[in-house]
Chain A
Amino acid sequence: MSILIFTLQVYCTLTIIIMVVYMVRHFIFTINRSFSHQKMSYEDILDSELPSISILIPMHNEEHVASQILDKLIKDDYKGMEIEIIAINDQSEDKTADILKAYEAICPNLRVIHRTEGIRGKPAALNEGLKIAKGEVVLVFDADYLPPKGMIRNLAISFKDPEISSVMGRVVPLNEAKNLLTRLIGMERASGYQVDQQARYNMDLLPQYGGTVGGFRKDLIMKIGGFDPTILAEDTNLTFITGSNGWKIQYANSAECYEEVPEEWAARARQIQRWSRGHNQVLFNEFTTVLSSPYFSFIQKVDALLLLFIYTIPTLLLVAMVSSIILFFLGELHFFLITQFAVFMMAYYGFGNFAPFYQICVASILDGDTKKVRLIPFMAFKFIFSMFYSTKGFIQAVVDYCSSRIVTWEKTSRFRQSP
């Protein structure tokens, strides 16, 4: 019994230390984003010679949103850039194929791929698109995104820098005012991009390529053999592969693109589970690569590892909470008191809901949305929820790693109605 108690106590202590590390990391980001010099992207460069661009849009049952993103992209002002749009109909069972055919007929730079077999999912669809893409640079948009005018140029200009492997813009929810959940996700997004990503970019750390509102060099992705269709977080995978090999990721905070966030808790649960599963798959595959990379400085390596473990923390936390309860019934209240209190407290302060509340607050202030800060207490609703579904995703990733089973892509539900 004493061995069990000792083990649980050590585990809880380690969890607290990890939570404190994350809390400090996010506090540094918050201070940096609040007061330091802000590193700009390349949007002010006036250069007419830009690389040729292929825009890939994977679509699976996107009849409600397909026409809207195509309209936006077709109407964008390319200013002489060589652009091709490739829509990949990934085994859709609704009217997506018909919509794409109609647009293909009227839009000369739109090409459509109809996938009817093979592994379904974004990485596999992107691989199909890459086969026919002619551009030097590939930009990716999810089908529910609404890129504003000038977005393509804003992202593409970064590739004038030969050290840049990929670029990432800022994601802003379109339907934030819909209900409490969308507002909470909106605050989380604002915090993640306005503070987290920009601070990492300011500090020469590793901003994350998010798989949409962004892009990469085609030759680079072809060199690594395209995307692994069994990995659900192809974006995170690309981030760590390129970062570990000395390439830079550009974060363009001014390249704001609108997306639809889940309006229902069940849809959000599936999304978190998929992200966690994919992110943890990358952790298992790329941990040693990051650790042994000669291109990262010590600080960059530490931060990259913290980023790599971000979806593992909810699982550690859940186990720590269960450990605290076991310790309680074993009569270790004295230790448990400090442990459970600190675990909860640090969790909420340092990591809760993937963005600590002080970080959310600063993001809201910078965005000029200070009224929504009042909703921060409601973030507590997402605490157990995010922890539970992230843990489910973690367990699935462990099983994926051990069994090499085929992973199926669960698409996030859309809530927008066709115009």
Chain B
Amino acid sequence: MTPYESPKGRRAYRRLECNPTLKIIETLLLICFFSGMVLYFYPHVISIMHSLACQALRLGSGESIGIITIPTKCLWKEIESIHIEEVETNELYAFVIALFSFFVAWIIPKVKMAKGLSMWIATIAILTFVSSAFFAIIPAKFPYTIGNFTEFYLHAEIFIWVTIPIFLSLCLAPVPTSMVSKTLLIAFTIAYSIVLGICRYALFIYVLIHIHFLFMPVLFFIFGPLLDIYAIISLYALYVSAYSKKIKEGFSI
């Protein structure tokens, strides 16, 4: 080090190797290919999802359950969603859940645990409290049916599948890894999201029918699309970490 040389860290002005034209082409190709695939195949996936959910519900609830299939339009194609007419809403149960969720929301900030976690639990408890209070006081005013829920859930899932390639391709643009591995990541993420979507679809309907309708807001707000986002980000993080060695080789100063 010369007398006047600053202790400059090499990382301060590092950048990543890039051919801008290739990057743009790569990103556009990934977006077009995967979004196109999703847009072409989503009615088939939804159809599989529908039949699997019906089977799971019959298995869990007995053959007597009156599942009605409603055709609904999503984008430019028709899909099928599940509707069940007779769902009972128990006011006393809603009242008990309201009391319990209020207690949880009140006690959780006092419990010694990481605030980041306790605030999520409190948020879920508050949402459950609002919903259960609604069902305890004015259950008849609840504006949705199972059919509405399944229809909107499926719309949200399709939207997620279409946007996964767009968001992931853009986020992967700065990452100096091969197009093949990026393609595999996007394909795996979509597949994972579809499997997660199918499992949740059957589970959500089961919860709404057999436990209580009041859990609909929590299922939609917390365990709906937000969970998909969480899964996408987690897979992305694992991917970047797994390729750390190769990435380090791509540095230039």
A contacts, CB < 8 Å to B = 27, 30-31, 33-36, 38, 40, 43-44, 46-48, 79, 148-151, 153-154, 157, 170, 180-181, 194, 198, 253-256, 265-266, 268-269, 324-325, 328-331, 333-334, 337, 340-341, 344-345, 348-349, 357-358, 361-362, 364-368, 370-371, 373-377, 380-382, 384-385, 388
For B115, give its contact among A266, A325, A368 (CB under 8 Å): A266
Contact of A265 with B225 in the complex, beta carbons under 8 Å = no
Contacts of B9 in A (CB 8 A): 254, 256
Contact of B244 with A371 in the complex, beta carbons under 8 Å = yes
- Min C-beta distance of A5 to chain B, whole Å: 12
For A180, give its contact among B114, B120, B225 (CB under 8 Å): B114
Between A and B, 25 residue pairs with Cβ closer than 8 Å are A27-B170, A31-B174, A35-B174, A44-B5, A170-B12, A194-B11, A254-B8, A254-B9, A265-B115, A265-B116, A328-B221, A330-B143, A331-B143, A341-B156, A344-B229, A357-B237, A361-B171, A365-B174, A365-B247, A366-B11, A373-B240, A374-B241, A375-B237, A377-B234, A382-B116
B contacts, CB < 8 Å to A = 2-9, 11-16, 18, 20, 23, 114-117, 119-120, 123, 127, 130, 134, 143-144, 148, 152, 155-156, 159, 163, 167, 170-171, 173-175, 217, 220-221, 224-226, 229-230, 233-234, 236-238, 240-241, 243-244, 247-248
- Min C-beta distance of B133 to chain A, whole Å: 10
Contact of B4 with A46 in the complex, beta carbons under 8 Å = yes
Contacts of B175 in A (CB 8 A): 361-362, 365
- Min C-beta distance of A11 to chain B, whole Å: 17
Contact of A254 with B13 in the complex, beta carbons under 8 Å = yes
- Min C-beta distance of B241 to chain A, whole Å: 5
Given contacts A30-B174, A180-B114, A373-B241, contact A35 B20 (CB under 8 A): yes
Contact of A38 with B3 in the complex, beta carbons under 8 Å = no
Given contacts A31-B173, A31-B174, A154-B6, contact A333 B144 (CB under 8 A): yes
Question: Which label, helix, strand, loop or mixed, suits the secondary structure of the B interface?
Answer: helix
- Min C-beta distance of B148 to chain A, whole Å: 6
Contact of B3 with A79 in the complex, beta carbons under 8 Å = yes
Contacts of B238 in A (CB 8 A): 374
Q: Which of A27, A253, A329, A349 has the most CB of B within 10 A?
A: A329
Q: Which single residue of chain B is at the shortest CB-CB distance from A179?
A: B114
Contact of A325 with B7 in the complex, beta carbons under 8 Å = no
- Min C-beta distance of B157 to chain A, whole Å: 10
Contacts of A385 in B (CB 8 A): 115-116, 119
- Min C-beta distance of B208 to chain A, whole Å: 14
Q: Which single residue of chain A is at the shortest CB-CB distance from B18?
A: A35
- Min C-beta distance of B216 to chain A, whole Å: 9
CA–CA, A253 and B174, complex, Å: 20
Contact of B237 with A374 in the complex, beta carbons under 8 Å = yes
Contact of A153 with B240 in the complex, beta carbons under 8 Å = no
- Min C-beta distance of B21 to chain A, whole Å: 12
Contacts of B5 in A (CB 8 A): 43-44, 150
Q: Which single residue of chain B is at the shortest CB-CB distance from A375?
A: B237
- Min C-beta distance of A153 to chain B, whole Å: 6
Contact of B217 with A325 in the complex, beta carbons under 8 Å = yes
Contacts of B224 in A (CB 8 A): 341
Contact of B127 with A269 in the complex, beta carbons under 8 Å = no
CA–CA, A384 and B125, complex, Å: 14
CA–CA, A170 and B13, complex, Å: 12
Contact of A377 with B237 in the complex, beta carbons under 8 Å = yes
Nearest 6 A/B pairs, CB to CB: A381-B116, A331-B143, A370-B244, A265-B115, A43-B6, A254-B12
Q: Which single residue of chain A is at the shortest CB-CB distance from B138?
A: A329
CA–CA, A374 and B5, complex, Å: 36
Contact of A376 with B233 in the complex, beta carbons under 8 Å = yes
Given contacts A170-B12, A330-B143, contact A344 B20 (CB under 8 A): no
Contacts of A44 in B (CB 8 A): 5-6, 8
Contacts of A375 in B (CB 8 A): 237
CA–CA, A164 and B226, complex, Å: 45
- Min C-beta distance of A238 to chain B, whole Å: 24
Q: Which single residue of chain A is at the shortest CB-CB distance from B131?
A: A329
Contact of B148 with A357 in the complex, beta carbons under 8 Å = no
Contact of A333 with B143 in the complex, beta carbons under 8 Å = yes
Q: Which single residue of chain A is at the shortest CB-CB distance from B130?
A: A325
Contact of B248 with A368 in the complex, beta carbons under 8 Å = yes
Contact of B148 with A150 in the complex, beta carbons under 8 Å = no
For A370, give its contact among B127, B163, B233, B241 (CB under 8 Å): B241
Q: Which single residue of chain A is at the shortest CB-CB distance from B113?
A: A265
Contacts of A358 in B (CB 8 A): 170-171, 174
Q: Which single residue of chain B is at the shortest CB-CB distance from A40?
A: B13
Contact of B8 with A269 in the complex, beta carbons under 8 Å = no
Contact of B152 with A333 in the complex, beta carbons under 8 Å = yes
CA–CA, A34 and B252, complex, Å: 11
